[in-house]
């Protein structure tokens, strides 16, 4: 029997889209309960056709990795290419497209462990740069989290969405070489 406090990371696959949506739903509910609706809004990802399609693409795309505690998925990481709304890198990189953890297991270092896994993947591919973007509004707690994991804030950006408030973002980079 495995230690229930040991976090392992396994590759995700096409069958894990529902897991990603569940993790996003739980994170969104946690944020909403704290009045922090700017990051992911107020509605569950599992009811949004755009987010469902995104989760399906992530799960089938080969870049999904799940943090598992015992046999329960408690975090998801998606790595790949940078999104089109951030400034391009000046060298080859690995980009963190999604990092989400289950706040019911806060304090176990799940997010930091997934980011270290992303760094290991980048190094294995001979890449010296790992980048991520995150919500840069409100109290900038996510920016501070990433900085605590060895990233440096680089480019702020704003995503303009028709019919919705602009979304303030922050790109962060971590050197691996």
Task: Judge whether 95 and 121 are in contact, CB under 8 Å.
Answer: no
Domain ranges of the chain: 7-175
Task: Judge whether 112 and 149 are in contact, CB under 8 Å.
Answer: yes
Answer yes or no: CATH 3.40.630.30 is held by domain 7-175.
yes
Residues 6 or more apart whose CB falls under 8 angstroms from that of 141 comprise none
Measured from the Cβ of residue 108, the count of other Cβ atoms closer than 10 Å reads 17
Q: Hey, what are 95's tokens? A: 């980009």
For residues 144 and 79, give the distance between their C-alpha atoms in angstroms, rounded to a whole number: 21
**pTM for the structure as a whole:** 0.93
> In a structure prediction context, what are the per-residue pLDDT tens digits for the chain, which is 177 residues long?
344 578 999 999 999 999 999 999 999 999 999 999 989 999 999 999 999 999 999 999 999 999 999 999 999 999 999 999 999 999 999 999 999 999 999 999 999 999 999 999 999 999 999 999 999 987 888 999 999 999 999 999 999 878 888 899 999 999 998
């Amino acid at each position: 029997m495995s230690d229930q406090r040991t976090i392992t990371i396994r590759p995700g696959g096409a069958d894990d889209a529902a897991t990603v949506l569940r993790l996003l739903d739980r994170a969104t509910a946690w944020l909403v309960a704290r009045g922090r609706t700017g990051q992911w809004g107020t509605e569950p990802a599992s009811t949004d056709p755009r987010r469902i399609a995104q989760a399906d693409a992530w799960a089938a795309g080969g870049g999904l990795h799940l943090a598992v505690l015992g046999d329960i998925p408690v975090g998801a990481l998606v790595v790949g290419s940078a999104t089109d709304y951030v400034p391009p890198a000046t060298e080859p990189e690995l980009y963190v497209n999604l990092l989400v953890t289950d706040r019911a297991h806060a304090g176990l270092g799940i997010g930091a462990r997934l980011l270290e896994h992303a760094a290991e993947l980048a190094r294995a591919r001979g890449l010296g740069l790992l980048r991520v973007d995150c919500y840069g509004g409100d109290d900038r707690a996510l920016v501070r989290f990433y900085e605590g994991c060895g990233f440096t804030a680089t480019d702020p950006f704003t995503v303009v969405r028709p019919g919705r408030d602009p979304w303030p973002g922050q790109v962060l980079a971590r050197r691996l070489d």
